[in-house]
Amino acid sequence: MTTILLTGFEPFGGDSVNPSGEAVGIVAAGWRGPETLVTAVLPVTFDGAAARLAELMAEHSPDVVVATGLAGDRAAISVERVAVNLRDARIADNAGAQPVDAPSVPDAPTAYFATLPVKAIARDIAAAGIPSSVSHSAGTFVCNHVFFTALHESATRGARTGFVHVPWAAEHRSTDASSLPLADIARALEIAVRTSASVTRDLAVSAGTLS
């Protein structure tokens, strides 16, 4: 039986909601299998989030890990391809930590690639009519840190692992033109989970950018 771990985040930076955590709750409530889906909402703290994710991976031994978070400046679902070994926080996390130029994991590689089929995921989300693209930077805040540490853990555990950034939900930011309906965000995450479970070889098409 395939086990999938899907995570979102709590609110941060003074906001009262985080669409990633809300969307993960919607996916969990509607899940009908056949895979086992384990979901969690992580704290937006460098230390707490990475530790909680490592605990969840040790407890459930997932075959697939899909971590998700908010990228409020983006208009599309971003399927992240690259995690960098860098914590460089422009704002403090929810515990007040604001590391600058610190590695996520000392003495680990500079970066990892996601081990999910990122192009197939972006294609399948777009095919459902939801804007989606492959992204080559998950930033340098808590999301990238969780993405990197999950891939570092996965290197020894063997789980296929990736990260999806979502825009603001229209219900939370009605004036924000780049937002998407929360139901579409949840649908996109469910597609990400299903494609991750079923596709092991990514598409041989370009998802590159010129700048």
Whether 143 is a known active-site residue: answer yes
Residue type, 9: F
* Sites for ligand PCA among residues 159-178 (CB under 6 A): none
Nearest to 184 by CA among 77, 72, 74, 40: 77
Q: Which of 90/127 has CB closer to ligand PCA?
A: 90
Active-site residue (options: 22, 35, 143, 153): 143
Q: d(Cα 79, Cα 133) in Å, to the nearest integer?
A: 6
Residue type, 166: V
Q: Which of 27, 41, 130, 143 binds ligand PCA (CB under 6 A)?
A: 143
**Contact status: 41 vs ligand PCA (CB under 6 A):** no
Q: d(Cα 160, Cα 37) in Å, to the nearest integer?
A: 14
Q: Which of 46, 112, 141, 163 binds ligand PCA (CB under 6 A)?
A: 141
Q: Which of 62, 69, 117, 167 binds ligand PCA (CB under 6 A)?
A: 69
Tokens 């509607």 map to which residue?
30
Whether 22 is a known active-site residue: answer no
Q: d(Cα 179, Cα 42) in Å, to the nearest integer?
A: 22
Active-site residue (options: 80, 153, 171, 190): 80
**Contact status: 139 vs ligand PCA (CB under 6 A):** yes
> Which residues does the annotation mark as catalytic?
80, 143
